[in-house]
Amino acid sequence: MKKFWKNISTYVVVALVSIGATYGMYSFMDHQKGYSTADTYNYGNEFNQKGVHLASLTADGYPDFTKAAESSVHAVVHIKSTVKAQSSQGRPRMMDPFEYFFGFGDRGGQDYRQPQPSVGFGSGVIISEDGFIITNNHVIDKADEIEVTLNDNSKYTAKLVGTDPLTDIALLKVEGKGLPYIPFGNSDNLKVGEWVLAVGNPFNLTSTVTAGIVSAKGRGRISAGGRNGVDMSIQSYIQTDAAINRGNSGGALVNTNGELVGINTAIYSQTGDFSGYGFAVPISIAGKVVADIKEYGTVQRAVLGVQIGEVSVAKEADPEKTKNLKINEGAYVGGFADMSPAKQAGIEEGDVITAINGVKVRTVSELQEQVNRFRPGDKVKVDVMRGTTSKTFDVTLKNNAGSTSVVKKEDGIASVGAAFKDLTAEKKKSLGISYGVEVAGVDNAGKFHKEGIMKGFIIQKINNQPVSSASDVERIITTTANSQDKALFVTGITPNGSKKYYAVDLSE
C-alpha cells in the first residue's frame, strides 16, 4: 500500500477534466489566551451564506440523497472557457524538413493556416446569492472568455476574481441576484465510509449526480502534468469512489445534508476516465483560498518554517539519529528555513510535531493542513515529542518572506515598468524568427530598465515559456509576481540580432 501511494503520481490523471493549503477561512484570535482558533470561524459568512440541514435519512432509516441532489444541481454550473486564437504569424511551429532542404513555403517558419480558438469545459459551484463561483484553476487557466450556464440554461459571462494554482482553486463572479448556492459544510467532520455526492457536468452532460463514500481523508501530495504541462499539487485530498469524470472538474462534492464539503479535482485512472477513485479539494482548504482571494486578492499562507518528513522515513534514513524516538506518527523536523518561527520558538531538529492547538497530526499532510488554517501573525500552540519527552511551544506564524504582514497582490506589470506589443510579420522575417514579443517602452524607474532591458528588445521566452503575444508576457509576469518564486528569466534578442539573457527579481 505504501508503495502504491508513493507512486500514485505515475497514474493520477488530473481531472483537467475540462476538455483539454490552507483551510478553513481566517482564524480569529482568542483574546483571552492570545492563540488563534481557526475552527471557531464560519468562513461561509464571507459569502453571506445561511446554514442548511436537509433530511438525510428516509422514513426507514436509509440514506436519502434526493434532497441533497435536488438542491445541489441548481447551484452547480457548466463552465465554458475560451482561449482566443493567437495570430498564426506569431505562433512557432516545427518546420517541415522538405521546406528546410528544398525551400518550399516560407523559410521563416510562419504558419499561415487559420488559427482556431481553444475551448475547454468544466464545472463550478455557486457559493453566494450574488454570484461568486468556485471552480478549479485548470478549468479556466489562460482563458480569455468564461461563460457560465446554470441548470435552467441561463447564461452569464464570468469575471475571474483570482486563482491559486497551488491548490488548483479559482474564484469567479457573475452579475446576479438571488442565485441558488450550496453552503459550506465542515470537511473536517467527514468520516471514512460516509456517503457523499459528486455533482457536475461530465462529458458535457449537465446536472449529473453520482454517489459514493469517503474512501480516505488527508491523502498527501498528488502531482500530474496539468494543462500545458503545469504541475498541480495540494497537501490534502478527500478520496471518494463516487464517479468523477472529465468535465466534473470544479464541481461539488456534497454530503447528504446538502452541504459543500469538497471541490472535485482529480481522478486516479490509467485510462483518463473514472475507474476507481476520485479526489476532491476539501472545503476546509478551498473555502480559505477563495475567502483570501475575495478579501486580499491573493492567498495568505502562514508557515512554521520547518523542513518536515514522515517519522517512518526519518527512521529508515537515519536509524542512529532517531533511535530514541518511541512514536511512529507525526511530522519529523529535519531542518529549518531562514527566519523560521518554529526555530525561534525553541523547536529543534529531530523533534516530532504531534499536534497544533491540541489537534493531533499523524502525517506531514495533516500538519500542513492544520497550519494552513491560519494567517501570518497568528499564534498557535505546537506540541512536539523530543525523544521520550513531550513539550509545547508557542509559535507566531509568519509568511514566506519572514514577516507577520498580510501579503498583498503584486502588480507585476507596474513593477517591471514596461509595455509590450506583438511583432509584425515583417519584423519577424527581418530577424529570422517565428515568434517573440517586442518591448514597446521602458520606464526608467522600472525593474526592466534596472536590469538593462531596453525598448526594442525582443522577448522570446520568460521562465523557459515561449511567448507570442503581449498578453502572454503580461500573464507570465503577473503570475510570477504573485508566486513564491518571484524571479523572471528573460531570453531574447536585441534589435541587431544579438542573443541576450536577463534575470529580474520581482521580490525587491
Give 211's pLDDT tier (boundaries 50, 70, 90). Answer: very high
pTM of the model: 0.70
Q: Which among 289, 298, 305 is positioned nearest to 402, based on CA atoms?
A: 305
| Residue for grid cell 453566494 | 128
- 23-39 pLDDT, tens digit per residue, is 333 333 333 345 665 54
Domain range summary for the chain, segments of one domain joined by +: 1-297, 306-396, 412-505
More confident residue, 230 or 405: 405
Q: Does domain 306-396 have CATH number 2.30.42.10?
A: yes
Question: Tell me, what amino acid is at 157?
Answer: T
**Residue 474 Cα distances to 412, 422, 437, 488, angstroms:** 8, 12, 11, 12
More confident residue, 230 or 160: 160
The radius of gyration computed from the CA coordinates of the chain, to the nearest angstrom, equals 25
User: Measured between alpha carbons, how far is 439 from 501 in angstroms, rounded to an integer?
Assistant: 14
User: Measured between alpha carbons, how far is 11 from 19 in angstroms, rounded to an integer?
Assistant: 19
Q: Which CATH superfamily is domain 412-505 in?
A: PDZ domain (2.30.42.10)
Question: Tell me, what amino acid is at 280?
Answer: A
* 155 beta partners: 149
Q: Which three cell numbers stand for residue 390?
A: 513531550
Q: Does domain 1-297 have CATH number 2.40.10.120?
A: yes
Give 508's pLDDT tier (boundaries 50, 70, 90). Answer: low
DSSP letter for each residue of 424-449:
PHHHHHHHT-S--EEEEEE-TTSHHH
Q: Which three cell numbers stand for residue 16?
A: 483537467
Active centre residues (catalytic)? 138, 168, 249
Give 200's pLDDT tier (boundaries 50, 70, 90). Answer: very high
Decide if pLDDT at 439 tops 50.
Answer: yes
- 97-151 pLDDT, tens digit per residue, is 433 333 334 444 444 455 678 888 999 999 999 999 999 999 998 888 999 999 9
User: Measured between alpha carbons, how far is 102 from 122 in angstroms, rounded to an integer?
Assistant: 45
User: Measured between alpha carbons, how far is 323 from 298 in angstroms, rounded to an integer?
Assistant: 43
255's enclosing H/E stretch is strand 252-255
Q: Which of 128-132, 188-192, 225-229, 500-504 has the lowest mean pLDDT?
A: 225-229
CB 497 within 8 A of CB 433: no
306's CB contacts (< 8 A; 6+ apart) are 331, 333, 335, 336, 337, 340, 342, 343, 347, 353
More confident residue, 345 or 486: 345
Whole-number mean pLDDT of the chain?
A: 80
Q: What is the pLDDT of residue 339?
A: 87
Does 412-505 match 306-396 at the fold level?
yes
Torsion of CA 490, 496, 497, 503, to 10 degrees: -10
User: Measured between alpha carbons, how far is 488 from 330 in angstroms, rounded to an integer?
Assistant: 37
85's CB contacts (< 8 A; 6+ apart) are 115, 116, 117, 118
Q: Which three cell numbers stand for residue 243?
A: 464517479
Decide if pLDDT at 11 tops 70.
Answer: no
Report percent pLDDT > 90 for the chain. 42
Give 470's pLDDT tier (boundaries 50, 70, 90). Answer: confident
- 322-377 pLDDT, tens digit per residue, is 988 889 999 999 999 888 999 999 999 999 999 999 989 998 888 888 887 788 89
Decide if pLDDT at 224 tops 60.
Answer: no
Q: Which among 415, 429, 494, 498 is positioned nearest to 456, based on CA atoms?
A: 494
| Residue for grid cell 438542491 | 71
